[in-house]
Amino acid sequence: MKVLILYFSATGNTAKIAKVIEEKFKEEGVRVTMSDITPFGERQRKIDFEPYQAVVFGAPIHVCRAPRVVRDWLRTLDGQGKKCSMFFTYGGFGVHPSHYSTREILKEQNFIVVSSAEFLGAHTFNLGGWRALGDRPNELDFEVAKDYVELTCKRFTGEDDRILGELEKTEHTEEQLDSAETSRFKVLTQLPTRGGEECSMCLDCEELCPTGAMEAESGEADKEKCIACLACVSNCPEEALKINDMSNSWSLRLDKEKVTEESIKEQKSKIYF
Ligand SMILES: Cc1cc2nc3c(=O)[nH]c(=O)nc-3n(C[C@H](O)[C@H](O)[C@H](O)COP(=O)(O)O)c2cc1C
Ligand code: SF4
Ligand code: SF4
């Protein structure tokens, strides 16, 4: 069996899980092609799914769903009736709408979704002073990823001919989630900027920006294009790119959700069948 793994990862959590999934598929005797669709250019090329028996899609969640650029890209694919599976990484809050919403898109694009999974990962906003799950994903999360592959493999081969069952729907409409996603700047009030920091002009921030929003020369992000993924901030070798201090919004978020830093750590990665 030949499987294609397509994943988006701005700060590396989803890439780590994708790697574990790749290794486990190989252990199961599956031939795997990995493709990182984070760079803008990778999402412009046409993908032919014909050579593959099945596809795995991985993404972080940005405000309860896969990032907007990933959802838009999924809507350009032709699934050719192939089986597929999804997985998400998230920073401890509100993951469940991502399964439902992404499956709806994949079904529309003529894929058959057989399974899904979610994995805890350091919250991107830790780069601005949040303290969510700084040490995740960890070995326990990787073990869940391996179990996920074992079960998914059986569904891909047909040994288990079921598809992904009922998923919990969110109480929010897609429009409400769209609006929450675009108002992310209430938390990230300052887009990544270099200010007066030293810069070696390596161009990584510009080349790795998934939306073409970052300009290395000025060290400023375009507000219309930026999705606040913080790939530029986390990958700058000089640590020259900064965002605003978000530690205050971290405390507010804990209060709003009625959770503590400790209770978030107790959450476990999970498989959906
Ligand atoms: C704009 C934005 C919105 C996010 N929204 C959520 C969210 O609603 N809930 C959550 O638990 N994590 C959220 N996160 C955190 C990411 O889902 C999490 O850190 C993920 O593992 C990042 O994956 P990556 O390292 O592969 O980019 C958000 C991150 C960003 C950048
Ligand atoms: S990644 Fe950092 S060092 Fe490299 S060009 Fe951008 S700001 Fe400068
Ligand atoms: S400029 Fe915005 S979209 Fe581009 S990498 Fe930085 S945070 Fe992400």
Q: What is the pLDDT of residues 241-265, one digit of tens each?
A: 999 999 999 999 999 999 999 999 9
Average of pLDDT values for 147-151?
98
Residue to mutate (ligand 3; options 9, 43, 191, 227; most atoms within 8 A of CB): 227
Whether 241 is in the pocket of ligand 3, judged by its Cβ within 6 Å, is no
Condensed to tens digits (0 to 9), the pLDDT of residues 4-42 reads 999 999 999 999 999 999 999 999 999 999 999 999 999
- 2 burial (CB, 10 Å; 0-12 / 13-18 / 19+) is exposed
Q: How confident is the model at residue 168 (pLDDT cuts 50, 70, 90)?
A: confident
| Choice among 93-102, 139-148, 262-271 with the minimum mean pLDDT | 93-102
Is the CB of residue 115 below 6 angstroms from any atom belonging to ligand 1? no
- Position 186 scores a pLDDT of 58
For ligand 3, mutation pick of 229, 241, 244, 246 (most atoms within 8 Å of CB)? 229
Question: How many other CB atoms are found less than 10 A from the CB of residue 16?
Answer: 19
Which ligand has the nearest atom to the CA of 62? 1
Q: What pLDDT sits at residue 187?
A: 67
Cβ 127 under 6 angstroms from ligand 3 = no
Q: How far is the CA of 213 from the centre of ligand 3 (A)?
A: 6
Residue type, position 250, single letter: W
Distance 107 CA to ligand 3 centre (A): 29
Q: For the chain, what is the mean pLDDT? A: 94
Distance 198 CA to ligand 2 centre (A): 9
Q: What would the mean pLDDT of 132-141 be, rounded to a whole number?
A: 97
pLDDT band at 178 (very low <50, low <70, confident <90, very high): confident
Q: What is the pLDDT of residue 181?
A: 81
pLDDT at 210: 97
Angle at 108 between CA 107 and CA 110, to 5 degrees: 65
What pLDDT is attached to residue 184? 62
* Residue nearest (by alpha carbon) to ligand 2 atom 4: 202
Q: Which ligand is nearest to the CA of 232?
A: 3
H helix and E strand count, the chain: 9, 8
Domains in the chain, start-ordered, CATH in brackets? 2-171+265-272 (3.40.50.360), 179-259 (3.30.70.20)
Query: Do 55 and 2 form a contact (C-beta atoms < 8 A)?
Result: no
Give the position, in ligand 2's atom list, of the atom nearest the Cα of 201: 5
Q: Whose CA is nearest to atom 8 of ligand 3?
A: 229
pLDDT tens for each residue of 64-118 = 999 999 999 999 999 999 999 999 999 999 888 899 999 999 999 999 999 999 9
